């Protein structure tokens, strides 16, 4: 089990942060920690860090931070503060050593909550699906409107080739994650709740537990934006709710104008036409993301024409149905982060609506517990795929104690199991398909280097 989040107040952390000169990040290659490390460099701190593997996020920090990819006895010696990811456990060498040396230890979410407390307006985006894309959309709208936001996104924002934007102290736009109730350690003034679905079964024991967690998060806000078409989200109670949706009556309603290669939709407020918008990629789930971002931006005083222009120039987020290459045989290859059955079905449906007939999907499950508890949903998630290849599960923090194998999972989903990336690439190159999608939240992204 991962380490629990710390619960220091902003004042307590400020006393530590103001005096400290040397900060160490455990898991500095993570999306959020790498962004926080960059902010600390900007604040004049000397930043150190450790991660088990080098990746694009840690590599981008190597010129400004001191990073190690292996543990050593002196890693945290002389540090004034250690910030850690809760993905580790208490056996982590750097964590245990810092604890023994009585160096202040602060979890990522707790530290982010402190950082954002300095901003006047703090707009959070949370939800089971679509929060990274919605965060990136809202960030792009605010940048386009010259609001100079500071942004912490859970994925690379393609418009800025970064997961963060360090701007002024007027607006902080951030992505909040429900896992381990991390978002309850943040300090939003208003938030978009994109949707609520059962996930993270290693922490949440039921769908009711998930809704309860989101209700606690909603209570932290002065205003919340709710997807009225999502039944669990509509159960959230709050004194100041702004709704958006497509199918149900809402404060902001979208009417989709069907087009194979782009999303066009009209937006109405309380039944009155506002503007027609478009996105450069298909998928109804992206329209919902755009409606949430539109509502929050419009309610914060950004004009409808500015929002329209910003959405039309939004280029997406990394690993969210991202076109990564055209193969030697002329097939479009995409990369997608979908790892929950709901996300899988939405992404594959979007590919179909883009006009792709025969689809090959290479999928990597993310954690054994998610696969086990959502097994029946996974079995029905790949129905529109012509060729399905299941790669080895990305175990993350887990050991497989659930009584199923990857081979069985592949068979039950209607696919085949393959473990060697070279062999997968060779196999795929022989298929007669119109699109290839590499799908999952683990290290399946490495497969793109093998595709020919």
- Please spell the DSSP secondary structure of 319-381, one letter per residue: TSSEEEEE-TTS-EEEEE---SHHHHHHHHHHHHHTT--SEEEEEEEE-HHHHHHTHHHHHTT
Domains along the chain with CATH numbers = 10-112 (3.40.50.720), 119-312 (3.40.1190.10), 322-449 (3.90.190.20)
Give residue 1's pLDDT.
57
pLDDT, tens digit only, all 452 positions of the chain: 578 899 999 999 999 999 999 999 999 999 999 999 999 999 999 999 999 999 999 999 999 999 999 988 789 999 999 999 999 988 899 999 999 999 999 999 999 999 999 999 999 999 999 999 999 999 999 999 999 999 999 999 999 999 999 999 999 999 999 999 999 999 999 999 999 999 999 999 999 999 999 999 999 999 999 999 999 999 999 999 999 999 878 999 999 987 656 689 999 999 999 999 999 888 899 999 999 999 999 999 999 999 999 999 999 999 999 999 999 999 999 999 999 999 999 999 999 988 899 999 999 999 999 999 999 999 999 999 999 999 999 998 899 999 999 999 999 999 999 999 999 999 999 999 999 999 999 999 999 999 98
Helices and strands in the chain: count of H runs, count of E runs = 15, 21
Buried b (16+ CB within 10 A) or exposed e, 319-336: bbbbebeeeeeebbbbbb
Q: Rounded to 5 degrees, what are φ and ψ at 195?
A: 180, 165
**DSSP character for 414?**
T
Give residue 293's pLDDT.
98
Q: How far is CA 264 from CA 169, 226, 336, in A?
A: 34, 22, 22
**Nearest to residue 220, comparing CAs of 268, 176, 158, 167?**
176
Give residue 381's pLDDT.
98
Buried b (16+ CB within 10 A) or exposed e, 209-245: ebbebbeebbebbebbbbbbbbebbbebebeebbbbb
Pairing of strands 150-157, 121-126: unpaired
Helix (H) or strand (E) holding 132: helix 131-144
Give the length of the chain: 452
List % helix, strand, coil for the chain (3-state, nearest 5).
35, 25, 40
Give residue 89's pLDDT.
87
**Nearest to residue 294, comparing CAs of 324, 330, 263, 332?**
263
Angle at 231 between CA 227 and CA 236, to 5 degrees: 70
Rounded to whole angstroms, how far apart are CA atoms 371 and 192?
28
Q: Confirm whether pTM is higher than 0.85.
A: yes
Name every residue whose Cβ is closer than 8 Å to that of residue 231 and which is 6 or more positions away in sequence. Answer: none
């Amino acid at each position: 089990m991962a380490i629990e989040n710390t619960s220091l107040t902003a004042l307590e952390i400020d006393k530590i942060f103001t005096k400290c000169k040397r900060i160490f990040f455990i898991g500095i290659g993570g999306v959020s920690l790498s962004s926080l490390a960059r902010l600390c460099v900007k604040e004049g701190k000397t930043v150190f860090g450790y991660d088990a593997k080098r990746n694009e996020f840690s590599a981008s920090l190597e010129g400004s931070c001191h990073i190690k990819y292996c543990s050593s006895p002196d890693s945290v010696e002389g540090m004034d503060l250690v910030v850690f990811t809760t993905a580790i456990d208490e056996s982590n060498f750097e964590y245990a050593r810092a604890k023994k040396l009585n160096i202040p230890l602060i979890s990522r979410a707790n530290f982010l909550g402190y950082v954002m407390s300095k901003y006047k307006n703090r707009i959070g985006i949370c939800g089971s699906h679509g929060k990274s894309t919605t965060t990136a959309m809202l960030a792009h709208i605010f940048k386009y409107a010259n609001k100079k936001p500071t942004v912490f996104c859970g994925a690379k924002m393609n418009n800025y080739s970064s997961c963060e934007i360090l701007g002024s102290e007027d607006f902080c736009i951030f992505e909040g994650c429900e896992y381990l109730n991390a978002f309850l350690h943040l300090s939003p003034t208003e938030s978009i709740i994109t949707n609520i679905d059962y996930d993270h079964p290693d922490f949440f024991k039921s769908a009711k537990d998930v809704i309860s967690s989101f209700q606690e998060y909603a209570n932290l806000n002065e205003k919340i934006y709710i997807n009225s078409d999502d039944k669990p989200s509509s159960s959230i109670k709050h004194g100041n709710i702004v709704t958006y949706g497509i199918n149900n009556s809402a404060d902001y309603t979208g009417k989709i104008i069907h087009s194979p290669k782009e999303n066009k939709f009209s937006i109405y407020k309380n039944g009155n036409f506002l503007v027609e918008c478009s996105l450069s990629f298909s998928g109804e789930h992206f329209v919902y993301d755009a409606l949430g971002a539109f509502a929050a931006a419009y309610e914060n005083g950004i004009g409808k024409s500015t929002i329209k222009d910003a959405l039309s120039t939004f280029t997406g987020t990394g690993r969210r149905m991202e076109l990564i290459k055209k193969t030697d045989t002329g097939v479009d290859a995409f990369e997608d982060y979908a790892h929950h059955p709901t996300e899988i079905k939405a992404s594959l449906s979007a590919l179909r609506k883009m006009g792709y007939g025969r689809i090959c999907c290479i999928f990597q499950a993310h954690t054994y517990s998610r696969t086990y508890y959502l097994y029946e949903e996974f079995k029905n998630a790949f129905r529109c795929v012509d060729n399905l290849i299941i790669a080895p599960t990305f175990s993350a923090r887990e050991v497989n104690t659930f009584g199923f194998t990857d081979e069985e999972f592949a068979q039950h989903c209607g696919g085949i199991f393959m473990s060697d990336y070279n062999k997968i690439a060779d196999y795929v190159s022989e298929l007669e398909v119109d699109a290839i999608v590499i799908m999952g939240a683990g290290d399946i992204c490495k497969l793109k280097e093998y595709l020919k």
